Amino acid sequence: MTKEISTSMIDTFSDKVRSAAENKVMQDAIMKNGIKAATLNGDAVVSMNPVFSEEIETGKVTDQKQSGRCWMFAALNTFRHKFSDAFHIKDFELSQNYTLFWDKFEKANYFLESILNTAAEPLDGRLVSWLMDTPQQDGGQWDMLVAIIEKYGVVPKQAMPETFQSSRTPVLNQLLNARLREDAGILRVMSADGKSRDALEAVKTEMLGDIYRILAFSLGEPPKVFDFEYRDEDKKFHRDLGITPQEFFKKYIGLDLNDYVAVINAPTQDKPYKKTYTVQYLGTVVGGHKIKYLNVDMETLKSLAVSQIKANESVWFGCDVGQYSDNTQGIMDTSLFDFDAAFGTKFKMTKAERLDYKHSCLTHAMVLTGVNLVDGKPNRWKVENSWGEKWGTKGYFVMSDRWMDEYTYQVVINKKYLSDELKAAFEQEPIELKPWDPMGALAVMQ
């Protein structure tokens, strides 16, 4: 039987709030200063000392500004760390605008192909509704950038610098999604009228021409070849003329991206450990590198990250950065705010429950560049963010190991650090997850 909220019920709740004098003090503190400031745990702040036993020298942090390109910045940052060590260039950056252009262009094609492949599905069904919700966006995953780089390579920032719109993407996204939703409607009507796939693909190609023009006007056209000139830290001048983006990646970054594995921790009942997973309708390049995760327990995930850091290689990782974090101080710790004591209630959901009940998922990607080990076990981690130097310690954050356990979902690890058992597990055919599964979440935090 339905029972509405009654006056007596409200009176009971109000009496409980007013019954203790300390409640009034907490109420006033929160109303004046906000929840986080009023509940900040000073002991937690002190314990998050930005000093680490294992640390990679990485230099000045980058700034994604008003865009959701964190996953892209994080991946390119791992590449530039390697480049800077090898070629002795301080604060070198790869062009995030270059990868942004091709990511958006490929996402547009991926969306339109998905529309053609689901033309028989009802418009108000869950799948088509999910596709229409966000035709393309800034967010992404490691494997999506791998697909872009394998096809288009990379360029230095000087070859395709930032533009007004690359650093402020909301208006661009609004226009692209308006164009793509309209195009989706056209393609669905044509399909319903019995047009051949060849005819649909011809119209789709024209539609992509519109997308390319919007991107070219907003971001500039990506270079096909460019000249690379730089002076290293020893003041020696270097010049490389007429190099392509693919040649640049091979020559100056020199990584085989197929050596890297996306390792996740998803402790939900539907995802057994030591199995691989992919997500339906999640990708960037049609026919390109596919999303594939290896699910492991958290201790294994952390030990892999420690091994890679100790070998002087930074680690791309995805997490839910908005949980128990303070951006100004650059701290992420489950003890940072004492919400339980302040409100007289307990927040007890497990990591699995937070995933199952949509309270948490991967929202942001950053780079692990250090770890503090005590008796061989981590107690805090150094994090390179991409929000500029005004946050944290010149852009670097400190993450407690407790926070790592609860809110980190993915790391990217070189296969050489995996055990033989995990290598064999990764070679399994992936289990397909639904498009709306929490492991299909994209890192998009601005």
Active-site residue, 385 included: yes
Question: In the chain, what are the helix, strand and coil shares in percent, each to the nearest 5?
Answer: 45, 20, 35
Specify the 3-state DSSP secondary structure of 372.
strand
- Partner residues linked to 408 by β-bridges: 319
In whole angstroms, give the CA distance from residue 164 to residue 373.
42
Distance from C-alpha of 163 to C-alpha of 177, rounded to nearest angstrom? 20
Measured CA to CA, the distance from residue 216 to residue 222 in angstroms comes to 8
Residue 70 known to be catalytic:
yes
- Residue 73 burial by Cβ neighbours in a 10 Å radius (0-12, 13-18, 19+): buried
Compute the CA torsion angle 394, 400, 403, 408 (nearest 10 deg): 60
Catalytic residue among 77, 364, 372, 414: 364
Query: What's the rounded Cα separation, in Å, for the pair 214 and 171?
Result: 11
> Helices 7-18 and 21-33 meet at what angle, rounded to 10?
90
Neighbouring residues of 164: CB distance < 8 A, sequence distance ≥ 6: none
For residue 135, with 0-12 CB atoms within 10 Å meaning exposed, 13-18 middle and 19 or more buried, which class applies? buried
- Helices (runs of H) and strands (runs of E) counted in the chain: 16, 14
Nearest to 71 by CA among 135, 138, 116, 15: 138
CA distance 317 to 211: 31
Rounded CA-CA distance 247/181 in Å is: 36
Q: Choose the catalytic residue: 70, 77, 265, 372.
A: 70
258: Cβ contacts below 8 Å, ≥ 6 apart? none
Spatial contact of 383 and 65, defined as CB atoms under 8 Å apart: no
364 is catalytic: yes
Do residues 45 and 329 touch, judged by C-beta distance below 8 A? yes
DSSP line for 169-181: -HHHHHHHHHHHH
Q: Determine contact, residues 367/77, Cβ cutoff 8 Å.
A: yes
Residues annotated as catalytic are 70, 364, 385
